[in-house]
Structure formats: structure tokens, C-alpha cells
Amino acid sequence: MMPSTLMHSSVVQREVVEKPRTDWSVDSDEDSEGSTDLGTDDPEDDCSWSSSSSSSLPWARIVGFADEVPNGVLQEVIEIESFKEFTKFTAADKAQQEQEWCEKLLEEIDDGDGGIACLKGVVVELAVSACGYEVVQRAFEIARGEDQASLLSEMRGNIRHLAKSLYGAEVLQTCLELMRPATVSFIATELVGCAAKVACSEPGHAVLCRILEYMPVKLTAPLLDELTMSVPDLCRNPYAIQVVSHLMDYTSPHHQLRTCRMITMYEKVLNNNRLAIPLVRKAQLSLQTNGT
């Protein structure tokens, strides 16, 4: 872009409006037909000029500045759309730095003496990272009392986000396997409202299976009700069929019976889907065994 010289005696005022990538220079001493005087002493005129003129001029972006020093001169304007070409850091550099950071965190955690504190504020970020999720898992393995509560507090409100990530799902499964059900009951609670969608995903279905395996029905009833209502659709998904199978194996007799009846109710439709056929047979056998 060619340098522009703009003379202003007014107090500082700055307006930025969009301008295309085209060379443009303005001589503040020349007036032409249809042009607007840039050398006004009224700050309000500067603002009104930028907003009113931009729509009528032949370009889409105009960058205008009022110098901060009275009677100062703006010598040159350089427009840079991206700093990408100027940075020396590549994706590989970033990955290497992240790997080294996570290795250092693991060392601090294993050393004890307050090592868990180094994860404060970054638990969720690490949990969805290929390098960091193992750090969080290790922290949960050794955390006790206040340290454990601190880690869990950062995860609250982020369970759906974690359940969408392969790495985050691994962390959630670790929590469900290691901790008392009442302590991690919020994991099941936060999945209510999107249970069917979570069940149909690769990372999410694994989290739901661990919930059904490790948590009592009294802590998961709303989640179970939502899943059983969606059974006919879940039977057609390669991931969700494992959740349906867990509903028949790990839940209360009430929810098991309800799941089996939902499957047999849609038996004709489900038999047309090869994924669902084993579940149909399992449901039929369960109902026959229980005499219902």
C-alpha cells in the first residue's frame, strides 16, 4: 500500500472502516468533486465522515486515523491481514512444547508435595488433549480429599464437552471407575437431555456404559428413563447398541423389562436391521425367561 499523509489538528479520534486490498493515497490539501474534507477540526465530523461516506465510495474498506498529537502527520499505513507468514512456530513446534509441558506436569504430580495444584485452571483443557488426558487420569488416581474435589469442580459444567472427546471420555471413565458413585453423580446428571445423542457417538457410548456399570439406579433414574424411551432408535446405531445391551444387563428389573418390551414392540422394524437382530433375540429370551 502506498503511504498516506493525513494532517489533523484535532484531539485524538480514531475510526476504522473496512477497505479492500487496493492502493490508495489521499492528499488532504486537494478537494475534488464528491470528495469529503479530511482536514476538519471538528472531531464529530471525523466520525460522521467515516460512517456516512463508506457506503457511497467505490471501495468496501477505508482505514482513517486522527493523529494523537495536534498538527501531527501520519506518514505511513501498513495493512497486514495475517501474521501466519511471520511466525517461526509451526504446528510441530506447538505439539512438541505441549508434550514437554505434559511430561513436566506428570513429574510434578508424581513427586507429590502439592503437585496437583499445578493443574489448577487447566483440567478440562488437558482432559481433551492427546498429551494431557493421561496427566489428568494420573492426577485422579492419586488425588484425595480437597485435591480430588478441586479437580472435579473444574469438570462440573463441562461433562457434555468431555463426553464428545475421545480423550475426555477416557478421563470420565477413569472417574467413574475410581470414585464413589455419589461423588461423580453429576456426570450422569449433566448428560440428561442429550443421552441418546451421546449414546450414538464413539466416545459418549463408552461413558454411558461405565455409568450403567458403576452407578446405582437411584442416581441415574432420569438418564435411564431417557435412554429407554429412545431404545428403538438406539438399536440401529453401532455404538448405541452396546448401551441398549447394558440397559438389559446392568439396570433395575423395571428398566430391564421396559427396555425389552420397547424392543419387542418394534420387533418387525428392527428385524430389518442387522445391527438390531441380536438385541431383538436377547430381549425375546429375557422376556421368556422371566415369564412376561
pLDDT tens for 110-165 read 876 667 888 889 999 999 999 999 999 999 999 888 889 999 999 999 999 999 99
State pLDDT tens for residues 61-118. 555 555 566 666 666 666 656 656 656 667 787 778 888 888 888 888 887 666 788 8
- Does 42 have pLDDT greater than 80? no
- CA-nearest of 260, 220, 264 to 244 is 260
So what's the pLDDT on residue 117? 84
- Mean pLDDT (the chain) is 80
Element (H, E) at 74: strand 73-74
Cα 200 from Cα 193, distance rounded (Å): 14
Distances (CA, A) of 181 to 23, 208, 253: 66, 14, 20
- Does 60 have pLDDT greater than 80? no
241 CB-near residues (< 8 Å, 6+ apart): 234, 235, 275, 276, 278, 279
- CA-nearest of 43, 84, 82 to 64 is 43
So what's the pLDDT on residue 88? 66
More confident residue, 265 or 117: 265
- CA-nearest of 45, 42, 39, 46 to 72 is 39
C-alpha cell at 35: 470528495
Cβ contact 168:127 at 8 Å: yes
Weakest mean pLDDT among 46-55, 105-114, 127-136, 255-264: 46-55
The residue-averaged pLDDT of 227-239 equals 96
Q: Is 143 helix (H, G, I), strand (E, B) or coil?
A: coil
Cα 179 from Cα 168, distance rounded (Å): 17
What percent of the chain lies above the pLDDT cut of 90?
A: 54
Cα 14 from Cα 57, distance rounded (Å): 19
- CA-nearest of 3, 6, 1, 9 to 74 is 6
